[in-house]
Structure 1
């Protein structure tokens, strides 16, 4: 494993050769699968398996993301000895959309994401009788995972939250935003529109992106959406934002139910999710008698929101923490 860890540093220098060589060969080995989720929606996922592996990591992506974006992370974890499973949430990626405008990020109930994750867990994690089951969730995926662990705290041997969406950074103060969301909720013609300041997907230049300092990884991720317009998701609907806000509140209120060994990774330069909510979550976990690793979030200094797509040094720091944490919980 140490051999593979050493490759995490310095990869950006030869990223193109890596992406079109070893990574592409690995990606061609994938198995693309599906199941029926709530409301008879087709939920897609991908898996990478080996007969030699007895451990599995479930990756739970963030809003608008697809498993198409995650081959590098899957490659690294697979070569550390884990099977890897990655879900495409309803309304995004290659899973079924909910609205005629496929760019609108929407969900009827946030709990439907959790229900889908539970279905996949039973289908892939339990039925394959792995000796160890782990989960790594990013952003919105972290909110979904937290609510799932409140239901099933014994489901995984350990969980890592990367920049989890326990609170959303809104463009207006809470005292203004929440009444607007409540008003829009009462008007069907409004609640499924793009939330204030958002719209259809468009490519942003690297220089103004808020997600990562890694030019190579940012450009690579943009190409996925450029090559496959069907993957594109733009801004969220008013209803999605309201559901997300209430999901965050529910996570904090149910933190005492989550006894799964947990590590929270926080990006110091995050302006997509509310880092204060991550702090509050860890405090609630500690107050309940089962603190997160280190009691407080582990801060990746200098990182923007997409920690696992950051420059080599920050990404390697986070990935080492993830793998070492899982190794300690067998």
Structure 2
């Protein structure tokens, strides 16, 4: 098995899982791992993607924790261990992406006030989209931000896809699942090949799902899909992108089968202080859970970025 199996399939000593009471109502499952040093390097808030759980990133979190960082994460509303917003089994649902941002704003404020700086926010996939939107809207002003395969467009999305989603969502209950499988519908590719070239790291997620079936999130709802299209479209056209002051590192997988790498590159070019690192055919969607050659390069880029830019503002 590549990497450290113990770091990937066990909650580390000193870390705790708890539930955070969101001001908007409901409890979100959170992970807190204080730095094991009297002089912390700083604090990282790491946010996963649609359907993600923070357990998937324990291996990478362990890397930064060993450098002296305090690590925090929480499962987004309506997925993972944060419960469901629809009776449709494990369907991932949200009424409005603004609900995610409200949670992010409130959690960030508490986290920023209670953890040592400098403060860094990282987001993968949907988490990358929400982190960037939060930065643009002023929900968070960290010292630096890292976006990993950010969801800024859907791969191979047809021009009328958003309209189609609105039509389908308007037929019956929009909280019903948009399709049957966990990732994008009607693909011939296996979910494994969409996410990573590393079978062992892919198996880690399945292991956690077997250990904790209650944290499994399946397909999104039609409402989630409608709101995702709207949020991405509005963010792409937001003039505040060019004025957003937080230094950003953006890691993009050009061969990503889930999100549109070209859309991410276009948005990255609008940011006033951004370093963009692109990967080719060697990387699928989950860059930080890829084979060692890709993952090590990605972590190396992040470490260099943090050393140069993650200073208290």
With structure 2 as the length reference, what TM-score do the two structures score? Answer: 0.89
Match of 2:150 among 164, 180, 183: 164
| Residues 191, 81 of structure 1: alpha-carbon distance in 2 compared, 3 angstrom cutoff | same
SS at match of 1:71: helix
Contact 2:121-2:145 within 8 A present in 1 as well: yes
Match of 1:292 among 274, 277, 285: 274
Residues 59-106 of structure 1: CA deviation (Å, up to 9, x unaligned): 010000111222111101101221100111011111121011242111
Match of 1:33 among 18, 26, 33: 18
Q: How many angstroms apart in 1 are the aligned matches of 2:12 and 2:218?
A: 26
Match of 1:225 among 209, 219, 232: 209
Q: How many angstroms apart in 2 are the aligned matches of 1:174 and 1:304?
A: 24
Contact 1:154-1:260 within 8 A present in 2 as well: no
Alignment of 1:193 with 2:176, yes or no, is yes
Q: How many angstroms apart in 2 are the aligned matches of 1:142 and 1:55?
A: 20
User: Aligned pairs, how many?
Assistant: 301
Q: How many angstroms apart in 1 are the aligned matches of 2:224 and 2:175?
A: 8
Q: How many angstroms apart in 2 are the aligned matches of 1:116 and 1:247?
A: 16
Q: How many angstroms apart in 1 are the aligned matches of 2:207 and 2:129?
A: 27
SS at match of 2:274: coil
Post-superposition, which runs of at least 4 consecutive aligned residues in structure 1 deviate over 6 A? 204-207
Alignment of 1:101 with 2:88, yes or no, is yes
SS at match of 1:209: helix
Structure 1, unaligned stretches of length 5 or more?
A: 1-10
Q: How many angstroms apart in 2 are the aligned matches of 1:231 and 1:192?
A: 19
Alignment of 1:84 with 2:57, yes or no, is no
Structure 2, unaligned stretches of length 5 or more?
A: none
Instruction: Give the drift of 1:114.
Output: 1.1
Match of 1:62 among 1, 26, 49: 49
Alignment of 1:241 with 2:225, yes or no, is yes
Contact 2:31-2:72 within 8 A present in 1 as well: yes
Instruction: Give the equivalent residue in structure 2 for 1:212.
Output: 196
With structure 1 as the length reference, what TM-score do the two structures score? Answer: 0.84
Instruction: Give the drift of 1:241.
Output: 0.8
Instruction: Give the drift of 1:206.
Output: 6.9
Contact 1:201-1:232 within 8 A present in 2 as well: no
Q: How many angstroms apart in 1 are the aligned matches of 2:295 and 2:223?
A: 33
Q: How many angstroms apart in 2 are the aligned matches of 1:164 and 1:283?
A: 14
Q: How many angstroms apart in 2 are the aligned matches of 1:261 and 1:26?
A: 31
Q: How many angstroms apart in 2 are the aligned matches of 1:208 and 1:132?
A: 36
Q: Going by fraction, where is helix more abundant, 1 or 2?
A: 1
Instruction: Give the equivalent residue in structure 1 for 2:162.
Output: 178
Q: How many angstroms apart in 1 are the aligned matches of 2:191 and 2:136?
A: 39
| Residues 282, 28 of structure 1: alpha-carbon distance in 2 compared, 3 angstrom cutoff | same
SS at match of 2:293: helix
Residues 141-165 of structure 1: CA deviation (Å, up to 9, x unaligned): 0111011101228721111100000
Cα root mean square deviation, aligned: 2.3
Q: How many angstroms apart in 2 are the aligned matches of 1:163 and 1:217?
A: 17
Contact 2:81-2:215 within 8 A present in 1 as well: yes
Instruction: Give the equivalent residue in structure 1 for 2:305.
Output: 325
Instruction: Give the equivalent residue in structure 1 for 2:30.
Output: 45
Contact 2:150-2:264 within 8 A present in 1 as well: yes
